[in-house]
């Protein structure tokens, strides 16, 4: 359960923004989308490898 304490003189919009950020970090929506359809373990590994290669390529480009 996510708890957001609203501080004095803080707008509701600001508190809502903090709530949304905390909720996003928990990964609930990401997990829910992943569970909607079964994905084979080999496909999961393949996509993880592709993402890792992309991240590594982007980091190498940043260093140059």
pLDDT in tens, 5-46: 998 999 999 999 999 999 999 999 989 998 999 999 999 999
pLDDT of the residue at 64: 81
Q: Which of 33-37, 48-52, 55-59 has the lowest mean pLDDT?
A: 33-37
pLDDT of the residue at 2: 87
**b/e string for 3-19 if b means 16 or more Cβ within 10 A?**
eeeeeeeeeeeeeeebe
Angle at which helices 28-36 and 12-26 cross, to 10°: 50
DSSP state of 27: T
Other CB atoms within 10 Å distance of the CB of residue 49: 10
pLDDT of the residue at 39: 92
Q: pTM for the complete prediction?
A: 0.55
């Amino acid at each position: 359960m996510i708890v957001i304490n609203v501080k004095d003189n803080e707008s509701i919009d600001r508190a809502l923004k903090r709530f949304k950020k905390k909720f996003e970090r928990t990964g609930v929506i990401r997990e829910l989308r992943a569970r909607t359809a079964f994905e084979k373990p080999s496909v999961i590994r393949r996509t993880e490898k592709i993402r890792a290669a992309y991240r590594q390529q982007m980091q190498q480009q940043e260093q140059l």
